[in-house]
Amino acid sequence: MSTVMDVQERRKYIQQFKVNSVAENGYKRILIQLFGLMGHGKSSLINSCIYTLGDKEYEMKVEASGSDGSHTTERITYQLTECITMVDNRGFQYMADNEFGQVYAQLGNFFPLNQKVEWKKDFVELMSKVEDSDATPNYSDFIVPIFVHSAKSVMSDTEISSVKTFFSGCKNMTGVYPIVVLTHRLSKTDSNLEGKFRRTGAEQILEVENYTGRDNIKTRGRCSDLLAVIENALRDVKFRIEQNWNPVTERIKRKKFLLKFMHDFAIAEKEKEAVKKVQEARRNEYNRLKEKASNMWFARFPEF
Ligand SMILES: Nc1nc2c(ncn2[C@@H]2O[C@H](COP(=O)(O)OP(=O)(O)OP(=O)(O)O)[C@@H](O)[C@H]2O)c(=O)[nH]1
Ligand SMILES: [Mg+2]
């Protein structure tokens, strides 16, 4: 099969994909949720997918991070086809537990779409936001998580191990390991990056070079790589939808996982805080005794 056919076939498969032809359980929309560290190419991936699927000139529909240090802070949805929508989630700063709870809430659709995302560090505040989502529970979106990561960045073994824990939580929130999309394919620094991501449990790792304002001449290879991202997401959806999930019980399961994760995190933080306080009190007591001993010494032997 030639590459041209490959691109055309992929485009057709994506454009004609109907969720109700496979779903009997009320799912109406496929929500491709992009998430990942700040500045790794989420917004650009959406622009590139819209551009690749359409016939128009390149347009920056989604504001990509600029040299002014601006970042996406709202969870905006972008419709790709009649039943496929991409969500540009707010990027996180570190691979750390305090950010993971919030990302899980975004992935599980417990935060509203098309609204600004304020990172909440406080457990009660976060929980109350999750509870608010019960007023309008969403049972019609079928979620596909895509983890966007720049191939320019280097991942240490410690970071990969933390991604592994994170992905296992993502699996609990969405029922699947995220698809990993490595952006900046042409600037890849670590030839073993894919191998490293394999260790996290991710089953699909794809590489793309996003189109940008400066570089957007359509080439077959680039189009093919970008369409492969959506095509793989859809094949995944088809497989999972055919397993006949019940959206109501799925949501309950995810909410329980999310609340437990946030609760355990809050307890761990409190314990860390308590240990810090004890250590500080011990240090103060030690310094006080040291000063007292030194004063006594000088009182007895003033000639020193
Ligand atoms: N050359 C090249 N540049 C890219 C690629 N992906 C993104 N960029 C550039 O990298 C910068 C950041 O990309 P964004 O798409 O804004 O990243 P983001 O993940 O949405 O960032 P936040 O909204 O801050 O979380 C922009 O200047 C993009 O033009 C890529 O694959 N290749
Ligand atoms: Mg962005």
User: Does 204 sit in the ligand 1 pocket, CB within 6 Å?
Assistant: no
Tell me, yes or no, whether 52 lies in a domain.
yes
Instruction: Give residue 244's pLDDT.
Output: 77
Tell me, yes or no, whether 293 lies in a domain.
no
Tell me, yes or no, whether 298 lies in a domain.
no
Q: What is the CATH number of the domain that holds 54?
A: 3.40.50.300
Task: Show the low-confidence residues of the chain (pLDDT under 70).
Answer: 1-5, 21-25, 66-70, 119-121, 304
User: Does 153 sit in the ligand 1 pocket, CB within 6 Å?
Assistant: no
The chain-wide mean pLDDT, for the chain, equals 87
Q: Are 113 and 77 in contact (CB under 8 A)?
A: yes
Instruction: Give residue 36's pLDDT.
Output: 93
Instruction: Give residue 1's pLDDT.
Output: 46
Instruction: Give residue 35's pLDDT.
Output: 93
Instruction: Give residue 2's pLDDT.
Output: 47
CA dist., res. 207 & res. 212, Å (int) = 16
Tell me, yes or no, whether 276 lies in a domain.
no
Instruction: Give residue 98's pLDDT.
Output: 73
Domain residue limits at 100: 3-262
- Going by C-alpha positions, the residue among 201, 119, 208, 215 that lies closest to residue 163 is 201
Tell me, yes or no, whether 296 lies in a domain.
no
Tell me, yes or no, whether 209 lies in a domain.
yes
Domain count for the chain: 1
Instruction: Give residue 67's pLDDT.
Output: 57
Instruction: Give residue 45's pLDDT.
Output: 96
User: Does 137 sit in the ligand 1 pocket, CB within 6 Å?
Assistant: no
Residue 91 makes CB contacts below 8 A (sequence gap 6+) with 35, 36, 37, 38, 39, 40, 42, 71, 72
Q: Are 261 and 113 in contact (CB under 8 A)?
A: no
Tell me, yes or no, whether 283 lies in a domain.
no
Tell me, yes or no, whether 152 lies in a domain.
yes
Supply φ then ψ for residue 169, to 5 degrees.
Answer: -65, -40
* CA nearest ligand 1 atom 24, residue: 71
